[in-house]
Amino acid sequence: MSENIFEILKQIPNEIRRPYISYIRFPFYKKLNPNARIDFEYPITAIVGCNGSSKSSILRAIYGSPENKSISEYWFETGLDYIEDKDPINNNKPKSAFIYGYYNSEAGNDVEVIKTRVNLKNKPDYWEPSRPIISYNMAPMPEAQEPYKGRFKTRWKLIEKNIVYLDFRHEAISAFDKYFYSGKLIKTKRLQTKQDFIRARSKYLKEIINKELKTYEYYGKNRLKENKILSDEVVSKISKILGKKYSGIRIIEHEFFTEFPEKTVYLCTDDFKYSEAFAGSGEFAVISLVQKVMEATEKSLIILDEPEVSLHPASQEQLLLFLAEQTLEKKHQVVFSTHSPALIKFLPSNAIKLLSVGLHNEINILNNLHPEQAFIKIGWKPDKKTIIVEDKAAKQLIEIIVKKNDMSENIDVMLFPGGAEQIINGPILSNAIVDSDKILYFLDGDKRKEHKNSADIPENKLDEAIRMQTGCNIKIPCSGRSGTPNLAEKILNQKKFLDYYKKFVFYLPKDTPEEIVWTSISEDVKQGISNTDYKECFRILSKKELDKDDSVAIEMTLRRYIVNNKILLEGLDCLEIISIIKNFF
């Protein structure tokens, strides 16, 4: 897996990605906590949650956001399922609605758009954009005169995006499977079983393949909608994801098995040819996904509901890499829901959103989560534990210490970019709230503070204690509704944070990892280098030994003085580090 592409995606400027949905928030929508919000800071977003946590509902709201799209295609009222626009806790009746933001190029600024459900007599599932609703914290429309730019008189224009939407539980299903498992057989003397029916109709598909037909009339109706051979590039991508070498793939869209057009795939390897009747459901799903994504126009909105269905973990990882490559090439915005750790393991924290159940069974949205932490909440128990550090030098040092002590198979060492404050406000805060015990943190020694015990701190002093402990301001989450925080829950979470910090956050024995390594190096090597900035010492040493002082050369030099450095690896500093790690287990 090439992890570098996920770093490159972070660097795509916003102006290159535009137009894209920058966030979506829900003043009142299904079971979501009022004003729940998802920020789309990274080109790919994964929505994680247990069954029934509204993952699909959120995807459908995103689907219904652009011009000429409506959520009512997927969420509608029936005689059994009545949509009640009512908040059961506050007992008020707001309209179901969602609000999203995007950069409006015509207006030259970021704008907000709202879509609300309008329960009309003859259209109970009609959703329409409306003027800004001030009670939903939307800014009023600025004064303007015609001709309007990027707006109408009372509201902003909706975003315009091409959409690719695939629900892999329902839509990425072949013609064979739809008929065999859901179709109705009308028996005749010749056709007594569904197998008989499929055998009888398959001969027409064989003729279509052999003769490269583009139409096929059967009982006075053209039953063939498409007969297409996928390009070598598409076939290569599919082969890589599935770990299987295909020499050719054909897609036939037809009505021989079902009343409406459905797809049959015909796959060729070096020694076998077969249709989806013999293929795995994962093969058909990947073929459908790859074809649609690669045919999508630039800057499309790609929405995938549980794309991991029927795929083993290695294929899931390759699927994620494919999505990243396509996103980088065509500047797509990708949003998918998932239950799979493999499908998010290489994504940065700001790409992962967790849906969790609150005190009143409302659904809360947590942004910016470590991949492992997101799945701990829904019951996944990883075999490995993780150590998070704040810079590359610490990552190198601890990885080698872990390897020397034969613990590499049980531990991943991960660099969390942005420094200590980002780690504290990101994975430490998120893991503290959900009581995770799977991650250990090593901050540089210059961040050292005395650990606090929450039981010794008065409730009205908790904010101050957290600030003293961490050296930064922390916004402790609490579920609160309608803008009013739940004080009891906030105090509970503050105590959780302090206790978690004491248990899982440690400091390197010296101010920086470079200092730990430098003090173990012989005086002969250090001759002529007397700088007290140990990062600078390694830059000078790199220049001296390699005649280079770029970041790669400095990393190589540092690593050379860690590996097989007996004085370092058996010294007190490294013994202290490995003792902490072993106690963690």
**Count of domains observed in the chain:** 3
pLDDT score of 326 more than 90: yes
| pLDDT confidence of residue 90 | 47
Average pLDDT over residues 469-486: 71
Structural domain range at position 112:
4-169+290-352
Domain identity same for 266 and 131: no
Is beta strand 385-389 parallel, antiparallel or unpaired with respect to 411-415?
A: parallel
pLDDT digits (tens, 9 = 90+) for 92-103: 556 789 999 999
| pLDDT confidence of residue 479 | 60
The winner for highest mean pLDDT among 25-34, 137-146, 292-301 is 292-301
| pLDDT confidence of residue 481 | 52
Kindly state whether residue 529 falls inside one of the protein's structural domains: no
pLDDT score of 572 more than 90: yes
Domain identity same for 69 and 94: yes
Average pLDDT over residues 56-78: 85
Domain identity same for 159 and 182: no
Cα 276 to Cα 371: distance, rounded to the nearest angstrom: 34
| pLDDT confidence of residue 387 | 92
Domain identity same for 498 and 409: yes
The winner for highest mean pLDDT among 169-173, 515-519, 563-567 is 515-519
Long-range contacts of 560-565 (CB under 8 A, 24+ apart): 561/517, 561/520, 561/521, 561/525, 562/396, 562/397, 562/400, 562/517, 563/400, 565/517, 565/520, 565/521
Angle at the Cα of 572 from the Cα atoms of 567 and 574, rounded to 5 degrees: 75
Cα 169 to Cα 182: distance, rounded to the nearest angstrom: 14
Which bin fits 118, alpha (ψ -120 to 50), beta or left (φ > 0)? beta
Kindly state whether residue 357 falls inside one of the protein's structural domains: no
Check if the beta carbon of residue 344 is closer than 8 Å to that of residue 48: yes
Least confident of 73-77, 186-190, 297-301, 504-508: 73-77
pLDDT band at 88 (very low <50, low <70, confident <90, very high): very low
Kindly state whether residue 202 falls inside one of the protein's structural domains: yes
| pLDDT confidence of residue 249 | 94
Check if the beta carbon of residue 446 is closer than 8 Å to that of residue 438: no
Q: What is the mean pLDDT of the chain?
A: 87
Q: Strands (DSSP E) along 382-424, which ranges?
A: 385-389, 411-415
| pLDDT confidence of residue 485 | 60
Query: What sections of 127-231 are H helices per DSSP?
Result: 175-182, 194-211
Task: Name the 3-class secondary structure at 563.
Answer: coil
| pLDDT confidence of residue 380 | 62
Closest among 56, 290, 39, 296 to 161, alpha carbons compared: 296
Kindly state whether residue 378 falls inside one of the protein's structural domains: no
Check if the beta carbon of residue 249 is closer than 8 Å to that of residue 229: yes
Domain identity same for 413 and 468: yes
Kindly state whether residue 9 falls inside one of the protein's structural domains: yes
Average pLDDT over residues 570-578: 92
Closest among 276, 277, 275, 272 to 245, alpha carbons compared: 272
Check if the beta carbon of residue 281 is closer than 8 Å to that of residue 260: no
Closest among 320, 380, 309, 379 to 344, alpha carbons compared: 320
Q: For residue 388, what are the contacts with CB-CB under 8 A and spacing of at least 6?
A: 370, 414, 415, 416, 423, 427, 439, 440, 441, 442
Q: Is the peptide bond before 509 cis (omega within 30 degrees of 0)?
A: no
Domain identity same for 348 and 400: no
Last residue of a domain, one of 236, 254, 278: 278
Residue 211, token pair as written in the block: 């003769």
Least confident of 150-159, 229-238, 323-332, 367-376: 367-376
Q: What is the DSSP letter of 134?
A: G
Query: What sections of 426-550 are H helices per DSSP?
Result: 429-433, 462-470, 487-504, 513-518, 523-526, 534-546
Cα 164 to Cα 161: distance, rounded to the nearest angstrom: 10
pLDDT score of 78 more than 60: no
- Cα Dmax for the chain: 98
pLDDT digits (tens, 9 = 90+) for 349-392: 899 999 887 777 788 898 877 776 677 666 666 567 889 999 99
Percentage of the chain beyond pLDDT 90 is 49
Least confident of 77-81, 182-186, 203-207, 432-436: 77-81
Kindly state whether residue 543 falls inside one of the protein's structural domains: no
Domain identity same for 472 and 491: yes
Cα 217 to Cα 222: distance, rounded to the nearest angstrom: 4
Cα 168 to Cα 303: distance, rounded to the nearest angstrom: 11
pLDDT digits (tens, 9 = 90+) for 179-220: 888 888 999 989 999 999 999 999 999 999 999 999 999 999
Domain identity same for 35 and 142: yes
Least confident of 293-302, 420-429, 484-493, 547-556: 484-493
Residue 346, token pair as written in the block: 């290489």
pTM: 0.67
Check if the beta carbon of residue 26 is closer than 8 Å to that of residue 34: yes
Q: Is the peptide bond before 147 cis (omega within 30 degrees of 0)?
A: yes
Least confident of 43-47, 279-283, 390-394: 279-283
pLDDT digits (tens, 9 = 90+) for 224-249: 999 999 999 999 999 999 998 999 99
Amino acid identity for residue 233 in this structure = E
| pLDDT confidence of residue 89 | 41
Q: For residue 460, what are the contacts with CB-CB under 8 A and spacing of at least 6?
A: none
pLDDT score of 484 more than 90: no
Average pLDDT over residues 458-470: 89
Kindly state whether residue 554 falls inside one of the protein's structural domains: no
pLDDT band at 133 (very low <50, low <70, confident <90, very high): very high
Closest among 539, 537, 540 to 554, alpha carbons compared: 539
Average pLDDT over residues 556-567: 90
| pLDDT confidence of residue 187 | 92
| pLDDT confidence of residue 6 | 92
More confident residue, 308 or 336: 336
| pLDDT confidence of residue 411 | 84
Cβ burial, residue 547 (10 Å; 0-12/13-18/19+): exposed
Average pLDDT over residues 129-151: 92
Cα 334 to Cα 134: distance, rounded to the nearest angstrom: 30
Residue 373, token pair as written in the block: 């932490």
Q: What is the domain-level CATH number for residue 295?
A: 3.40.50
Domain identity same for 61 and 181: no
| pLDDT confidence of residue 436 | 77
Last residue of a domain, one of 333, 352, 371: 352
Cα 520 to Cα 555: distance, rounded to the nearest angstrom: 17
pLDDT score of 91 more than 60: no
Last residue of a domain, one of 306, 336, 352: 352
Check if the beta carbon of residue 118 is closer than 8 Å to that of residue 71: no
Cα 409 to Cα 400: distance, rounded to the nearest angstrom: 13
Q: For residue 187, what are the contacts with CB-CB under 8 A and spacing of at least 6?
A: none
pLDDT band at 505 (very low <50, low <70, confident <90, very high): very high
Cβ burial, residue 211 (10 Å; 0-12/13-18/19+): exposed
The Cβ of residue 76 has, within 10 Å, a number of other Cβ atoms equal to 13
Q: For residue 252, what are the contacts with CB-CB under 8 A and spacing of at least 6?
A: 205, 208, 209, 224, 226, 227, 228, 263, 264, 265, 266
Domain identity same for 251 and 141: no
Kindly state whether residue 556 falls inside one of the protein's structural domains: no
Domain identity same for 254 and 296: no
Domain identity same for 21 and 131: yes
pLDDT score of 343 more than 70: yes
Average pLDDT over residues 465-485: 75
Q: Give helix 281-295 / helix 232-242 axis angle, nearest 10°.
A: 140
pLDDT band at 271 (very low <50, low <70, confident <90, very high): confident
